[in-house]
Structure 1
Amino acid sequence: MPALDGSPRAIAWAERCRHQLVSDAYTALVTDGDLDDDAWEDIEDAARTVTRAGWWIDNRESDPGDLPELLAAATSSDRPNENPY
């Protein structure tokens, strides 16, 4: 997963939140659910685009099965701008 954007304290907390949410989502959607590994890769790719630490902190208590919808609802401010100029 890519580095997160935010203060050092927020980044440390968000990295734990992201790891827990993504791990729990994998269990809920793939291990215990009907999602295959190819579909999971799409979810992981979407998760990689959300680099704002605050987004992961804000969604830390979300239901893991909702991760695809949460990622789809993430705004452009939650994702890095490819062209910084």
Structure 2
Amino acid sequence: MAIKTALPIAFSCGHTETVDLTHVPAGRRKNHAFGLGKNRVCTKCFKTQGAADLDKLNRQTLLDAAAFEQEHELPELTGTEKQLNWATRIRYQVLAAVLEEQDEETASEAFAAARTLTRSGWWIDNCADKDLDTDDHLELIATADESGQPEHVATENPF
């Protein structure tokens, strides 16, 4: 009879899941399975918990961003609800980094230019790249020209 490699594990959340333990030496599989069940939750509960934690973090970031916008007199952004949430977080992170890393004069110039950028799409398109640093963001904000951009772009597609 072959030694089982997949064992059913009763997790601490109350769910049971069959887990492949081929990476664990045969003599330690049952003990490892017991330890997993005692100290961990099933995959479904782990994903649910991760999604809840992420949602909580996003809500807190949006609350911090709203207080930051009010404190620095930033105008509201325009766009869809999804764009607004994303762009608000981006603008908050970019401008908070500018405040932290730049002198007062440079920061005030950046904030003055940022007050004219109210289209969510601009912040998403230009500042969402993780490879950009604060100097890159400053250059993008200082050279932004939103005057020719329409608020809504209509398409020929009727759907």
When normalised by structure 2's length, the TM-score is 0.41
Report the CA distance between 1:77 and its aligned residue: 4.1
Tell me, yes or no, if the aligned pair for 1:6 and 1:54 is still in contact at 8 Å.
yes
Report the CA distance between 1:73 and its aligned residue: 2.1
Aligned mate of 1:66, from 114, 131, 136: 136
Cross-structure match for 1:43: 110
- The alignment yields a C-alpha RMSD, in angstroms, of 1.9
Tell me, yes or no, if the aligned pair for 1:10 and 1:54 is still in contact at 8 Å.
yes
Q: Which has the higher helix share?
A: 1
AA partner of residue 117 (structure 2): V
AA partner of residue 16 (structure 1): R
Aligned residues: 73
Q: Which has the higher strand share?
A: 2
Higher relative contact order (CA 8 A, sep 6+): 1
Runs (4+) off by over 6 Å: none
- In structure 2, list runs of 5 or more residues that go unmatched: 1-73, 152-159
Q: Which of the pair has more CA radius of gyration?
A: 2
Distance in 1 (alpha carbons) for counterparts of 2:123 and 2:114: 10
Distance in 2 (alpha carbons) for counterparts of 1:48 and 1:18: 11
Distance in 2 (alpha carbons) for counterparts of 1:4 and 1:60: 16
